[in-house]
Amino acid sequence: MSPADFASHLALLTSAKQPWFRSLVGKYEFVGTVSNEGFRLMPVVRGRNTYLPRVTGSLSPDGGGTQIELKQTLHPIAIVAVMVVLGAPVIASLIARDFASAAGLTVLLVVFHVIMYFAGFLPEARRIEARFRQLARSG
């Protein structure tokens, strides 16, 4: 399958925008942009998940097929939101010179982040990678 064929197939599964107060579940698999050279996507899921992967990738010809380079990260806005929400109590403790509370909160922040990585990010990242493998084979 050529990069253009893969991109057109992926574009059929992708909505350009997430409409306000309407779910895309069952209609699209991704929200974002797709071109013959690459893509920038977020998965469509039920409910909310701050730890959803942001999927970026490039498409290039590889013999008679397509080389797909896939990168999954947290969305930059999600990183800032997590840092603000979880970091504010630590900063407040440091300002109050309550170093024991700041240390304890920091440990809780790290533990929370690790749990959310394994519960929120990793399952979606694995599902997306499997879906891309399936799409690449279905040519």
Count of all residues that appear for the chain in the document: 139
pLDDT in tens, 5-14: 999 999 999 9
Residue 45 identity (one-letter amino acid): V
139 pLDDT band, cuts 50/70/90, is low
Indicate the pTM of the whole model: 0.78
Domain ranges of the chain: 3-138
Give the 3-state DSSP-derived string for 62-130, with helices as H, strands as E and coil as C: ECCEEEEEEEEEECHHHHHHHHHHHHHHHHHHHHCCCHHHHHHHHHHHHHHHHHHHHHHHHHHHHHHHH
pLDDT in tens, 78-109: 888 888 887 888 888 889 998 898 888 888 88
Cβ–Cβ < 8 Å for 55, 68? no
